[in-house]
Structure 1
């Protein structure tokens, strides 16, 4: 059999590219070289938008027919922080005591490396094609714009692919889904995210003459309490209850003897499938109006959001991934929708998608790292997914 690169060697190459978002730093080139050599048709696509950085993206496919499974992910990483605080260089890709260190080792260059290694090994064992019959397709949809604003990445790459006639049947995003050990969690959905600013207007005045002013500070405190006191919902079959969290209160007033003219409070809502962005905004606006009555002058400034709620309901595909996990680890994964948002929210509009990758305990931390043995396990799981998918 033809020798193919290991997940460790691929991950080390990727980690040595300092691709702090929005920089690519050669990371996509590493993947392009590997995939082209394996027979993939590879496209590099750059997207732009006013006020944001140009972003390089990669789409690669082998095969031209269904069934079509896609591996998706991102090669951009968050900044490493204090370089001197790292035990091993953030972009050195060093292995020490069985651990691979580097920014992106977990989130998510390690996961991409495992998917590529598994795919190349699978193809080498199957005559260089997804199925020996010649049917089936495998693709990679990789962006450099996930850790920042996420406007010139996956969302536009999916639109570009759709305009080319690409159709995906299923997708795996290699985000670090596991909590404590490889195989403990598959993410089958994510809550939506909606941010806003609560604005309460008052009348500025001297603190010695409060009857000549209207203080917005007590009013905004009452409204925060009112909006927090009543739950948005009780959760659903696949999701925990939606939650509204206030994150700051600001009056822009450095003086101690002046009643401010306005108070503002920022908040974020993580919402489940009881709501859409539109119905959620309407519900909160309605509750605010009721809390204000005829006395308090307040409004919400809703911020733009592209983070919709989604869920891939358990079925044949989640069963297939779970079976591959059980074969390698002996674990039955929890099908979970917790955590923050990811690019899977964009993919869910095109095909069923799950997230399964490495253990996320050290992502975004100093000394981000993963056991090399976890890379081997994840590669074996992805390989098992391909074998079952094209059986």
Structure 2
């Protein structure tokens, strides 16, 4: 078992949290991390992307091992805005201790993970100065934002030069009650649509001279709501379709609207594809004879890492360091794992409890830090031992 508090992880977490790195500003966090990595033999490459008014900083840092196998630690230095400062019990960018917890923006999402990763690597390399396993860091300042100039850009560059890792641990906050009680071995994909159903505007007292798009849409909408898109599988729940917004009308009570706009989203598993979902939805619209426009946005494809080398290493590390039998899960929203999985065959997310992420008074329990660092370090040891066997 690990000690209650790892001071090295705590101090580095506090350093990172003191930097107000609201998307897309890195706030100097990557400089702090590279200062810790360079003495360990990491080659650090900064990759910038995006327009001048939204410049994103990314870091790819790599230390080759004796084998061709590399484990990448991935994460983000950016945080969401703090919101009204008056609602916080203490300054969100001044790390503050209260009741055995560390308060501040980024405490859980995800500067504790970044610090724990760095300290885990320091400890691992101190005991294994010439490991078979290569180690890398893939960091971005655009995870909480549009995510178009961050991890996806780095992954494209790595793929182009044949430098992709074989394993990846993303430090997203995945735990529920205690560090290690849940990890993510996959995520659902996200596909959004904006449907505009066309009608004819007119006076509500003369419906024969108009064509109400809400009335036109209603039967199709009912059918879509009732559809079973797939049955899911052993790792994913069934694909879901949800309407988030419906807009129609001029605001006047005596005007039939000329169009109706519907925003919707699929959260889909590996049993469906964007193409299959699009085709089935369009078939329903056409069946009901609607006149419409439809715009699609693919936010990310689903990914799944089935039990194997990486899952086994992290499960073993969690059991040894915490005594917990971890739960594999694919629930929740999307993460940058969706981009990394396009170039890396085994991707897992593992981090501290997520109950306060994005909230006022975000915090992490101090005693959750040491187990997280120990899990990362032990995972390195297990993977490295497998290569040396």
Superposed CA offset, 1:90-148 (max 9, x none): 11112222111111111111111111111111112223x4x1xxx33111000001111
Indicate how the Cα distance of structure 1 residues 252 and 56 shifts in structure 2: closer, same or farther if over 3 A, else same: farther
Indicate how the Cα distance of structure 1 residues 275 and 49 shifts in structure 2: closer, same or farther if over 3 A, else same: farther
Of residues 107, 125, 128 in structure 1, which corresponds to 2:127?
Answer: 125
Count of aligned pairs between the two proteins:
378
1:203 matched residue in structure 2: 200
**Which of 181-190 and 61-70 deviates more?**
61-70
- Residue 67 of structure 1: how far off its partner (Å): 2.1
2:216 matched residue in structure 1: 219
2:63 matched residue in structure 1: 62
Matched, 1:350 2:343: yes
| Residues 88 and 361, structure 2, Cα contact 8 Å, conserved in 1 | yes
- Residue 368 of structure 1: how far off its partner (Å): 0.6
Rounded Cα–Cα distance in structure 2 between residues aligned with 1:30 and 1:5: 17
Rounded Cα–Cα distance in structure 2 between residues aligned with 1:235 and 1:368: 34
- Residue 36 of structure 1: how far off its partner (Å): 1.2
Of residues 112, 124, 143 in structure 2, which corresponds to 1:146?
Answer: 143
With the length of structure 1 as denominator, give the TM-score of the two structures: 0.93
1:106 alignment partner, SS class: helix
Rounded Cα–Cα distance in structure 1 between residues aligned with 2:349 and 2:246: 35
Output the aligned Cα RMSD.
1.6
User: Structure 1 regions of 5+ residues with no counterpart?
Assistant: none
Indicate how the Cα distance of structure 1 residues 329 and 338 shifts in structure 2: closer, same or farther if over 3 A, else same: same
* 1:1-391 equivalence runs, <5 A: 6-48=8-50, 53-64=54-65, 65-127=67-129, 129=130, 131=131, 135-290=132-287, 292=288, 294=289, 296-299=290-293, 301-351=294-344, 352-391=346-385
| Residues 143 and 154, structure 1, Cα contact 8 Å, conserved in 2 | yes
User: Structure 2 regions of 5+ residues with no counterpart?
Assistant: 1-5
1:107 alignment partner, SS class: helix
Superposed CA offset, 1:39-69 (max 9, x none): 211111111259x722111111112542211
| Residues 19 and 25, structure 1, Cα contact 8 Å, conserved in 2 | yes
| Residues 38 and 44, structure 2, Cα contact 8 Å, conserved in 1 | yes
